[in-house]
Structure 1
């Protein structure tokens, strides 16, 4: 299958339109056929050694969703306190939509199945990369369905492991908030809020050897000061 110019333009437009969404329309639902298409897109993702290390839990229990939301709120508080000079700016941000989104899925890293092909020297890193590729597929499929998706990583993994009854070796890597949105952000939300600005290609692409100029961390804000360590 070859893509013509129009299909190529559509594909690049989809990539450019993807957003990490935090604002969802409450009280909405997603029909089963759409959920199946989203799941199929995730399953088409590449994985190192065809290991498919991802597992996905759909949260349909309202009480469990509420407890997961509480976990996120607690970590938001800890993150705010760790940000020092940017604490109040962080508190003003909308950073998740766990309670409002139509669908809440948890993406998990499965216990290691012993795959060696392609990951002998970096076993855990390649499993993480494979899960990330699966989530990106889901993100793009959701955008093609005109649905928002937000990847929430603000939680203590051990706490979620207990709530979700995960076996030893399994780990939650994200709460995926999916659902209708009133509108998509015209640019990344953190960029619009002036929290952090994306770098251009010249800062991220090189040739042959490392010659990059690295910024200080501190969420790319000179006024942030060092992060507090707990």
Structure 2
């Protein structure tokens, strides 16, 4: 009979280990146009997926699945779906923003050797899940944690990752044959890269800037500055 797991010492990481974690966080980038055509070795891809699979999830429901897409015909259909949605999106912005929007590269679907759709199975764990009793969307939040784990692991491995979010949900569902209870949470492009922007690309191109942290921290209640 297996012995119950017991807590292990929660020691501080070494200086080098801690620095590596923060480096991955601060130098992570959303990659769109710097992908190389080199394939991602299967063992490396599995390490990335294993990192995602070790994300925290409410009630240990682990609601994620990972659809690995390498077939060029599937990528082509996904790219067409993006182009259609992106044209609609561009027209939503005022004219002075639309010109810059049209110059932004917002996907690397065709260039990236691996595309990955991370989904959330909203039936995972049954009708009653510990920690989900008062907020049904904790399964979606948990799936996003898996995406972040994968992103940071990819940065540590020198793999670029870009999140493509401009899709009509129905298009992804149709192309990827998703059942009704499964939600597409993130469509990702992965591949080797030689260089990354020193700052977020949207910041470098003048679309937006990182907000000052001190403006976002309250104490005890909303609006109370520290």
| TM exceeding 0.5 | yes
Kept in 2, the 8 Å contact 1:116–1:123? The answer is: no
Give the corresponding residue for 1:83. Answer: 93
Deviation at 1:24, TM superposition (A): 3.0
Structure 1 window deviating more from structure 2 (96-105 vs 115-124): it is 115-124
Deviation at 1:27, TM superposition (A): 2.4
1:191-206 alignment to 2 at 5 Å? 191-206=203-218
Kept in 2, the 8 Å contact 1:98–1:177? The answer is: yes
Selected match of 1:118 from 126, 131, 134: 131
Give the corresponding residue for 1:32. Answer: 42
Give the corresponding residue for 2:23. Answer: 13
Give the corresponding residue for 1:218. Answer: none
Kept in 1, the 8 Å contact 2:123–2:181? The answer is: yes
Report the count of equivalent residues.
212
Provide the C-alpha distance between the structure 2 equivalents of 1:196 and 1:95, rounded to a whole number of angstroms.
Answer: 14
Deviation at 1:102, TM superposition (A): 1.6
Matched, 1:150 2:162: yes
Give the corresponding residue for 2:4. Answer: none
Selected match of 1:65 from 57, 72, 75: 75
3-state SS, counterpart of residue 79 of structure 1:
helix
Matched, 1:167 2:179: yes
Give the corresponding residue for 1:47. Answer: 57
3-state SS, counterpart of residue 179 of structure 1:
strand
Kept in 1, the 8 Å contact 2:120–2:185? The answer is: yes
Matched, 1:104 2:115: yes
Provide the C-alpha distance between the structure 1 equivalents of 2:190 and 2:175, rounded to a whole number of angstroms.
Answer: 21
Deviation at 1:88, TM superposition (A): 1.3
Per the normalisation by structure 1, the TM-score is: 0.88
1:207-222 alignment to 2 at 5 Å? 207-211=219-223
Provide the C-alpha distance between the structure 2 equivalents of 1:68 and 1:212, rounded to a whole number of angstroms.
Answer: 45
Provide the C-alpha distance between the structure 2 equivalents of 1:177 and 1:115, rounded to a whole number of angstroms.
Answer: 34
Q: Return structure 1 stretches of 4+ with deviation > 2 angstroms.
A: 24-27, 111-116
Kept in 1, the 8 Å contact 2:81–2:171? The answer is: yes
Residues 115 and 133 of structure 1: CA distance in aligned 2, closer, same or farther (over 3 Å): farther
Per the normalisation by structure 2, the TM-score is: 0.89
Instruction: Describe the superposition over 1:47-106 as per-residue Cα deviations: whole angstroms up to 9, x where unpaired.
Output: 011011111100122111100011111111111001122111100011110110021011
Deviation at 1:25, TM superposition (A): 2.9
